[in-house]
Amino acid sequence: MPKTLDLKSCSVCAKAKARCDLVPGQAKCARCARLNKDCTLQPRGSHSRRAVATRSHSRKHALPPQLRSGTAARTLSPVSAHLLDPSCSNASTSQEPSPTSAIDHSAPPGSSIFTDPERRAPEMLNLYRNDMMPLFPFVIIPPHMGSAEFFREKPVLFMIIIAVTCQHDVELQSRLCSLCRTEIGHRIWDQSEVSLDLLQGVLVFIAWRHVHVHLGSRLSSLIHSAIALAVDLDIYHEPRQAAKARLGALDGSDDSIGNGILKTLEQRRAQLGLFWLSSVLSACLQDVAGVKSSSSVANSCHMLEQAKDLPSDLHLVRLVQLQITAETVTTTISEDDGGNSLKFSAHAMFDLLGKEVKKADPSRLLPSDRSSSILLSLSYHMVRLLLYRTYLDEVSHSMSHDDLHAHGISAATRCISLVFLTADAAKAAITAFLTLDSDMLLSLPYPHWIQMGHAIRTLARILAMKSETSEALPAVELLKLLEQVPTKVEEAFSRGMQCPMPRCLPAIFQGLRKTVSDIARSTGITTTTEMPPEVEKGQTSRFDSNQLNGMNMGLYEEDEDFMKDLFSDGGFQLNFDPAWTY
């Protein structure tokens, strides 16, 4: 009997994908009757969409509640999303959480380490917004944005800010920073994600690197990842039209590049933040390659200065302009690879660059905010130090022993003056650091700590010079200045413990006093030493040109070694060429 078109296969045959012989008037099809199974007719219509919806519904209810609720939580890895979603509160916790009880060491992955995230997250975001963001104005949290909204909009940046502001518990902060590293690697390498949220998060992670430097991640890898994100986001350079010779350009089919989309102010801040971070760190550390300044960097400075969108943008622009000057110094002096041209043009080049550095002096254009003014002054003196140190290195390398005798006392006198100028710039930078409020040290970004450490190491090497000429330096005064640095850091530790939510600097800074003691022991100078009579009168000893043979400041250090050697109590080593007896 022919099959009726109004009837469909029964559910049993449909599930088995077998032929179903339905006969009108019979309760079962031939197959179900033969197998003695219940024969149920299917409803008419397509069943594919209903099956997909059913599977999606079952998968959704298999997720934790916090991953079902928000779109931002689904963008994080499961562990990170569960840890940091501020919309998830622990109803079973009614008492005030202590810093040490915030971590549940026996909890399985996916359980919250915050016992009260609804209260902690706003506190930490306000800490970043009020205390840390003014010192790093490249990544902004809008004042009207709450913690839940901020998490939905920028989950990665939210996660990293929570980590760097978790100063009430160093162990918890270390665990959060480890999660941040995992999340960054998962997004960049596993998911190939490109987003402004991710770029801003990486910038903040670099800016407070001293809170997680003990974990051992390479600074150069973080900076190169940020550069790659900026390139992929098309904010590394200014938008430009695609070349006419490009494949697909003539018929308009290629619209992937050169679409002319203008950068937002938020993107320009991120671009300048990347330039500033890499420029400051590459000037002090050996294993960091800086981002070169370009017309795009200058244009972003101009746009932010003209827009006057935020008061902190003025501080941002001044910081970047100082680093543009610093890059001009290093690239101009280091252009020559040892040719003869340096002998004849070095002096004029140095004088010209000195005038450019003086033009960059921010004292005439300092913002009204005291902290911003001090940090700009610190950065300016670091540019001066870079100018004198770079020129001193180039001159000492370019002049052989015979050249020194040929040039006579003029070359020696000029090198003496460069050493004194370098010491003066380092002293001015340290003095600016000491004028900061102790509370500010709790929020100070990593690049300023590196600048400070670089100035300390420069001064230590100058004090360690074994020659009659070094006696002309105010060694006791400079050593007393260095002794004030650990006192300042210890004051910051004390003030941090008095905050409503206790704040603590990383333990790596606790060895700074021992470092200063090691410097004094290495130089053979104590603060009780009487100044030589010729120093008190401002006289200098005669200079032997042989002292310049092999002289080199050699100040570039590896990142982790620099931090651990200078700030921890592992013992301070000067590590400079013994031939440098200037």
Is the sign of the CA dihedral 208, 213, 217, 221 positive or negative? positive
Task: Report H helices in 17-63.
Answer: 30-35, 48-62
Burial class (CB in 10 A: 0-12, 13-18, 19+), 271: buried
- 363: phi then psi, degrees, rounded to nearest 5: -65, -30
The torsion region of residue 252 among left (phi > 0), alpha (psi -120 to 50) and beta comes to: left
Rounded-to-10 torsion of CA 460, 462, 463, 465:
120
CA–CA separation, 160 vs 172, rounded Å?
Answer: 13
CA–CA separation, 270 vs 364, rounded Å?
Answer: 27
**Crossing angle of the two packed helices 155-165 and 196-207, in degrees rounded to 10:** 10
Neighbours of 146 (CB within 10 A): 13
Contact between 415 and 548 under an 8 Å Cβ cutoff? The reply is yes
CA-based nearest residue to 399, from 458, 353, 338: 338
pLDDT by 10-residue block (mean), the chain, 582 residues: 59 84 82 86 61 44 38 51 49 35 34 50 91 95 88 92 92 91 92 94 96 86 92 79 48 45 87 94 80 87 90 91 86 55 51 69 65 90 87 65 51 74 92 93 94 89 65 78 91 89 86 83 61 38 37 47 56 42 34
Question: Which residue matches tokens 């200079």?
Answer: 543
Residue 558 pLDDT:
54
Model's pTM, two decimal places? 0.72
Residue 204 pLDDT:
97
Q: Tell me, what amino acid is at 161?
A: I
Residue 218 pLDDT:
84
CA–CA separation, 572 vs 523, rounded Å?
Answer: 12
Joined together, the tokens standing for residue 23 give: 């006969």
CA–CA separation, 427 vs 313, rounded Å?
Answer: 28
**Crossing angle of the two packed helices 446-463 and 370-398, in degrees rounded to 10:** 50
3-state secondary structure 241-264: CCCCCCCCCCCCCCCCCCCCCCCC
CA–CA separation, 511 vs 515, rounded Å?
Answer: 6
Joined together, the tokens standing for residue 582 give: 């200037």
CA–CA separation, 546 vs 548, rounded Å?
Answer: 5
CA-based nearest residue to 80, from 169, 167, 198: 198
CA-based nearest residue to 69, from 51, 86, 90: 86
The torsion region of residue 553 among left (phi > 0), alpha (psi -120 to 50) and beta comes to: alpha
Contact between 40 and 12 under an 8 Å Cβ cutoff? The reply is yes
CA–CA separation, 13 vs 31, rounded Å?
Answer: 8
Question: Residue 198: which H helix or E strand, with range?
Answer: helix 196-207
CA–CA separation, 369 vs 312, rounded Å?
Answer: 9
Q: Tell me, what amino acid is at 60?
A: K
Residue 489 pLDDT:
92
Residue 200 pLDDT:
96
Contact between 286 and 556 under an 8 Å Cβ cutoff? The reply is yes
Residue 9 pLDDT:
81
Joined together, the tokens standing for residue 184 give: 């960054």
CA–CA separation, 176 vs 113, rounded Å?
Answer: 9
Is the sign of the CA dihedral 561, 566, 570, 574 positive or negative? positive
Residues in CB range of 414: below 8 A, 6 or more apart? 347, 395
Residue 57 pLDDT:
45
Question: Which residue matches tokens 């002293």?
Answer: 427
Contact between 488 and 536 under an 8 Å Cβ cutoff? The reply is no
CA-based nearest residue to 235, from 198, 272, 203: 272
Q: CA angle, 189 as apex, 185 and 194 as ends, to 5°?
A: 95
CA–CA separation, 112 vs 83, rounded Å?
Answer: 5
Residues in CB range of 368: below 8 A, 6 or more apart? none
Burial class (CB in 10 A: 0-12, 13-18, 19+), 304: buried
CA–CA separation, 1 vs 137, rounded Å?
Answer: 82
Residues in CB range of 232: below 8 A, 6 or more apart? 194
Q: Coil, helix or strand for 402?
A: helix
CA–CA separation, 476 vs 461, rounded Å?
Answer: 14
What is the widest separation between alpha-carbon atoms in the chain?
126
